């Protein structure tokens, strides 16, 4: 083949290499998978490369703990608000076989709680092993002494101080401040100092998250995207737009516009921090008719099927704040009816855990990991929307569904952590018992003023608490099954639960007794947050759930009581409140009121209310007092769906403690869990802790 050049003759058309490519989708899937594996290999190689050094460092740091440790792992399963009397009843009825197993083979005791027995206070004492005088959390809210307005007690969020104004925009030049107000040090930090890894999920008052050797997902006090503690949206066709309740919680009623095919509205998001006018960012939404009575929601470029009486999955939303600046949130929708009058509920817009706008976990990527591993989940501190049921926006079934959905999300995370942390400390707090008992106690208490007259409704919900306790027992069973023999399990509640039938308006009592005066000598206030109080004639006032503050000179902005007189005044008020009777029911309403010095010891005692009020079973501070109002009378019926409570005298509402080993738990208190967990893992109790180890004599690590 003289005229043919080399192999060119055969190479005229050598097949189609491009045919190996079948579209960008497959190509990207392949490339994405390859990159994921590559990234994982690099991460794994780095982790393995550094592992000997980390191991050596941990071995040096934790050699003493490792030598003294009694177990490889401690697990604390927190069931918020589990009530001992109900536990006893259901144990006796054989409804809680798993807790019964723990009782038989280990320990079961009442667990003393804090003054006042509120979750933020009690769980802070759990974390730090201290009384509230050392951890500085005395209530859900604290008052600002400068203007008497309430503030969240455990966190302060402030925008950055330095800003650049460009037209209507404000460009932050410094980061916003998110400062935790819980003081002292949680025991997982002490474990971390000893090289022991911890996984801490949804333990209240962990926002902003702690920094320690481990992972943590924040809980109570994590705000929603609007910065509130939970603001739901109620889309309606009739009625007026506006807030459904007073304060930082509750809902916003939004009136939809109907045209021929459907309804339109805007879903409010966060106030825009980049604009001078803080205009609310929002996203438009449209709901159109679907098939078989269903509807279709179009929001943020997504098409979401809505079926009446069913929740959607979490829907991701992006709120534009400025060009190229967006924040992401997630929410769930619940269509009540599409036909006129249209009605739809939307949960508070939670911070998206996959791309959180503020730190809600430690390390920051931990929430991203959880979202990717288990899907989106509720991040709001008080995730279960009790207000929507209180205001009859949701019915009991819808609320229950929401609470149990959140419970399932949390169970997935908890069992994931049990699998991933075979050595160290794992804890998760489940809020469903607390929220469900708050809202369903009226079905359990036949004397409750808020018990519905509708017998069918009563019948439908009379066993809800029983169902709840059985469900929690099943969770305990799954947990026990997931543990090895070298793990100590604690199942505990931070407080118990009682009926909340009658409200005590402390401000009305203070007014009646001459400690408080209202402007223009009015007998009731019109505005919340103590706005109607005449401070020049007021010696004491109440706001929040815990107690009463003295209007002290040099402390409160318009204080009139000298510091010398304050203590005596507090004692006087406490003495007069103790044994206060409810004339209508001829019962003692207040078991004991105490001056703070009697129950708190520590550097932050000064921040506590001056008088702490311990109510009798059936009584609690009134709704008006909680938001700084003064009602018409001292006593009134509680007619809200929020019918169970625990903010009474702590001796009357202890929690429960179960453990799979024998404990010396006759006088166990919630502050004792931290020292016990530390000792089990071989770490010496820090000197600041007030609690004591519950391990039996002869079983301590020193032995």
Which of 312, 368, 401, 587 touches another protein (CB under 8 A)? 368
Q: Which is nearer to another protein, 194 or 530 (CB)?
A: 194
- Round to whole Å and give the CA distance between 298 and 262: 11
CB of 367 to another protein, least distance (A): 10
Site string for another protein, 311-350 (x = CB under 8 A): ----------------------------------------
Tokens at 50, concatenated:
């550094």
Q: Which of residues 214-273 bind another protein (CB under 8 A)?
A: 215
Helices (H), 631-680: 673-680
Closest to another protein by CB, 28 or 166: 28
Q: How far is the CB of 214 from another protein (least distance, A)?
A: 9
3-class SS at 686?
A: coil
Q: What residues numbered 422-441 form the site for another protein, per CB under 8 A? A: 422-423
Total Cβ atoms within 10 A of residue 336: 18
Closer Cβ to another protein, 8 or 454, answer by number? 8
Contact 649, 113 (CB under 8 A): no
Q: Contacting another protein (CB under 8 A), which of 6, 29, 342, 694? A: 29
Q: Considering the complex, state which of residue 58 and residue 601 has its C-beta at the smaller distance from another protein.
A: 58
Whether the CB-CB separation of 143 and 544 falls below 8 Å is answered with: yes
Distance from the Cα of residue 308 to its chain's centroid:
28
Smallest separation (angstroms) from another protein to the CB of 147: 43
Helices 84-92 and 97-105, packing angle to 10 deg: 100
Smallest distance from the beta carbon of 13 to another protein, in angstroms?
Answer: 5
Q: 31 vs 696, which CB is nearer to another protein? A: 31
Nearer to another protein, 116 or 192 (CB): 192
Could you say which of 168, 211, 372, 522 contacts another protein (CB under 8 A)? 372
Q: Which range, of 5-13, 140-148, 471-479, 532-540, touches another protein by CB under 8 A?
A: 5-13
Q: Is residue 6 at the binding interface for another protein, with CB under 8 A as the rule? A: no
Subset of 45-64 contacting another protein (CB under 8 A): 47-48, 50-51, 54, 58
* Rounded CA separation 384/596 (Å): 32
Binding part of the chain for another protein, among 3-11, 67-75, 398-406, 598-606 by CB under 8 A, reads 3-11
Strand ranges (E), 237-342? 242-243, 250-255, 257-258, 262-271, 280-289, 295-299, 302-306, 315-322, 325-331, 333-337
Among 101, 172, 282, 369, binds another protein (CB under 8 A): 369
Binding part of the chain for another protein, among 230-238, 240-248, 366-374, 639-647 by CB under 8 A, reads 366-374
Tell me which residue has tokens 């109080």: 533
Stretch that binds another protein, among 29-37, 251-259, 262-270, 653-661 (CB under 8 A): 29-37
Structural contact between residues 96 and 580, judged by C-beta atoms closer than 8 angstroms = no
Number of residues that bind another protein (CB under 8 A): 54
Check binding of 414 to another protein (CB under 8 A).
no
Q: How far is the CB of 279 from another protein (least distance, A)?
A: 25
CB of 10 to another protein, least distance (A): 8
Spatial neighbors of 416 by CB under 8 A, at least 6 apart, are 370, 373, 374
Taking the C-alpha atoms of 451, 453, 455 and 461 in order, what is their torsion angle to the nearest 10 degrees? -30
Round to whole Å and give the CA distance between 207 and 431: 16
The CB density around residue 474, as the number of other CB atoms within 10 Å, is: 14
DSSP 482: T
Query: Which pair of structure tokens corresponds to residue 482?
Result: 């997931």
Per-residue tokens: 465: 């608490």
DSSP readout, 161-189? S-EEEETTEEEESSPPEEEE---S--HHH
Q: Which of 91, 73, 111, 107 is nearest to 660 (CA)?
A: 107
Only one residue has tokens 């098939």, namely 291
Burial of 368 (C-beta count, 10 Å sphere; 0-12/13-18/19+)? middle
Smallest distance from another protein to CB 665, Å: 32
CB of residue 421 vs another protein: minimum separation in angstroms? 7
288, 421, 460, 560: which one binds another protein (CB under 8 A): 421
Token readout for 518 is 């209202």
Bridge partners (DSSP) listed for residue 311: 334
If one asks whether residue 365 binds another protein (CB under 8 A), the answer comes out as: yes
Which span (79-87, 358-366, 451-459, 586-594) binds another protein, by CB under 8 A?
A: 358-366
Collect all residues with Cβ–Cβ distance below 8 Å to 282 and sequence separation of at least 6: 266, 267, 268, 269, 319
Beta strands, E only, 561-645 = 581-582, 587-588, 590-595, 611-615, 618-621, 635-637, 644-645
Identify the residue among 6, 24, 260, 583 touching another protein (CB under 8 A): 24
Residue 39 Cβ vs another protein, minimum distance, rounded to whole Å: 5
Which residue among 37, 151, 241, 243 contacts another protein (CB under 8 A)?
37
**Cα→Cα distances 133→98, 195, 367, 544, Å:** 36, 29, 32, 18
Instruction: Record the tokens describing residue 400, joined without a space.
Output: 């229950």
Per rule CB under 8 A, is residue 12 in the interface with another protein? Answer: yes
To the nearest whole angstrom, how small is the minimum distance from the Cβ of residue 597 to another protein? 44
Nearer to another protein, 39 or 632 (CB): 39
Which of 179/420 has CB closer to another protein?
420
Specify the residue, 8 or 455, whose C-beta has the smaller distance to another protein. Answer: 8
CA distance 135 to 203: 15
Among 168, 420, 446, 526, binds another protein (CB under 8 A): 420
Segment contacting another protein by CB under 8 A, of 72-80, 414-422, 490-498, 510-518: 414-422
Nearer to another protein by Cβ, of 19 and 164: the residue is 19
Q: Is 17 in the site for another protein (CB under 8 A)?
A: yes
Q: Which of 126, 212, 314, 366 binds another protein (CB under 8 A)?
A: 366
Cα(192)–Cα(183) distance, integer angstroms: 18
DSSP 526: S
To another protein, the closest distance from the beta carbon of 46 in angstroms equals: 8
Q: By C-beta, is 360 or 594 nearer to another protein?
A: 360
Q: How far apart (Å, rounded) are the C-alpha atoms in residues 39 and 34? A: 9
Q: Which of 6, 23, 260, 323 binds another protein (CB under 8 A)?
A: 23
User: What binding mask, one character per residue, do residues 190-219 give for another protein by CB under 8 A, x or -?
Assistant: -------x-----------------x----
Tell me which H or E stretch contains 409.
Answer: helix 396-420
Cβ(300)–Cβ(379) under 8 Å?
A: no
Interacting residues toward another protein by CB under 8 A: 1, 3-4, 8-9, 12-13, 16-19, 21-33, 36-37, 39-41, 43-44, 47-48, 50-51, 54, 58, 197, 215, 301-302, 363, 365-366, 368-369, 371-373, 375, 420-423
């Amino acid at each position: 083949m003289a005229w043919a050049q080399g192999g060119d003759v055969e190479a005229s058309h050598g097949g189609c290499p491009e045919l190996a490519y079948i579209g960008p989708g497959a190509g990207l899937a392949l490339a994405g998978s390859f990159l994921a594996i590559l990234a994982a290999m690099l991460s794994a190689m780095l982790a393995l490369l550094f592992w000997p050094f980390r191991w050596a460092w941990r071995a040096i740091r934790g050699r003493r703990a490792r030598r003294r440790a009694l177990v490889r792992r401690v697990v604390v399963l927190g069931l918020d608000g589990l009530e001992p009397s109900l536990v006893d009843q259901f144990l006796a009825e054989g409804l809680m076989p798993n807790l019964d197993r723990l009782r038989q083979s280990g320990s079961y005791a009442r667990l003393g709680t804090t003054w006042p027995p509120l979750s933020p206070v009690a769980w802070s004492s759990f974390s730090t092993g201290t009384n509230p005088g050392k951890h500085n959390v005395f209530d859900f809210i604290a008052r600002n002494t400068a203007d008497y307005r309430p503030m969240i007690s455990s966190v302060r969020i402030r925008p950055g101080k330095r800003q650049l104004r460009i037209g209507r925009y404000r460009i932050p030049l410094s980061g916003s401040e998110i400062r935790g107000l819980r003081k002292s040090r949680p025991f997982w930090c002490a474990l971390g100092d000893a090289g022991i890894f911890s996984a801490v999920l949804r333990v209240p008052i962990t926002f902003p998250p702690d920094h320690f050797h481990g992972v943590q997902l924040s809980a109570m006090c994590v705000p929603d995207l609007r910065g509130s503690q939970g603001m739901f949206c109620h889309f309606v066709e009739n009625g007026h737009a506006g807030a459904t309740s007073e304060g930082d919680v509750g809902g916003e009623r939004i009136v939809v516009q109907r045209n021929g095919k459907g309804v339109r509205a805007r879903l409010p998001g966060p106030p825009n921090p980049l604009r001078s006018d803080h205009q609310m960012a929002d996203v438009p939404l449209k709901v159109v008719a679907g098939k078989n009575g269903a509807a279709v929601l179009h929001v943020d470029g997504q098409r979401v099927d809505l079926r009446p009486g069913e929740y959607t999955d979490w829907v991701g939303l992006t709120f534009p704040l400025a060009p190229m600046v967006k924040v992401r949130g997630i929410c769930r929708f619940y269509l009540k009816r599409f036909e006129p009058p249209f009605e739809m509920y939307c949960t508070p817009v939670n911070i998206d855990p996959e791309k959180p706008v503020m730190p809600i976990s430690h390390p920051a990527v931990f929430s991203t990991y959880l979202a990717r591993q288990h899907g989106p989940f509720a991040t709001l501190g008080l995730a279960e929307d009790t207000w929507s049921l209180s205001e009859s926006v949701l019915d009991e079934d819808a609320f229950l569904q929401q609470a149990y959905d959140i419970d399932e999300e949390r169970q997935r995370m908890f069992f994931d952590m049990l699998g991933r942390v075979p050595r160290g400390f794992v804890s998760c707090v489940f809020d469903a018992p607390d929220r469900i008992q708050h809202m369903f106690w009226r079905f359990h208490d036949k004397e409750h003023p808020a018990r519905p007259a509708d017998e069918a409704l009563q019948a439908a919900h009379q066993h809800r608490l029983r169902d709840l306790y059985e469900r929690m027992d099943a969770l305990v069973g799954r947990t026990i099954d997931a543990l090895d023999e070298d793990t100590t399990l604690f199942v505990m509640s931070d407080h118990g639960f009682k009926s909340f039938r009658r409200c005590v308006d402390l401000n009305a009592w203070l007014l009646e007794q001459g400690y408080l005066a209202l402007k223009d000598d009015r007998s009731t206030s019109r505005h919340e947050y103590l706005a109607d109080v005449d401070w020049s004639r007021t010696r004491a006032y109440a706001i929040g759930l815990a107690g009463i503050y003295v209007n002290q000179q040099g402390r409160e902005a318009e204080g009139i009581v000298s510091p010398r007189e304050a203590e005596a005044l507090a004692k006087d008020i406490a003495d007069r409140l103790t044994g206060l009777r409810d004339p209508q029911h001829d019962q003692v309403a207040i078991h004991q009121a105490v001056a703070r010095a009697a129950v708190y010891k520590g550097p932050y005692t000064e921040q506590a209310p001056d008088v702490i009020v311990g109510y009798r079973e059936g009584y609690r501070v009134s709704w008006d007092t909680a938001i700084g109002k003064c009602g018409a009378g001292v006593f009134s019926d509680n007619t809200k769906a929020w019918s169970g409570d625990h903010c009474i005298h702590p001796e009357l509402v202890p929690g429960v403690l179960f453990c799979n080993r024998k404990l010396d738990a006759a006088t166990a208190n919630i502050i004792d869990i931290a020292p016990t967990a530390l000792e089990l893992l071989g770490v010496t109790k820090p000197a600041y802790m007030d609690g004591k180890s519950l391990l039996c004599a002869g079983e301590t690590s020193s032995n």
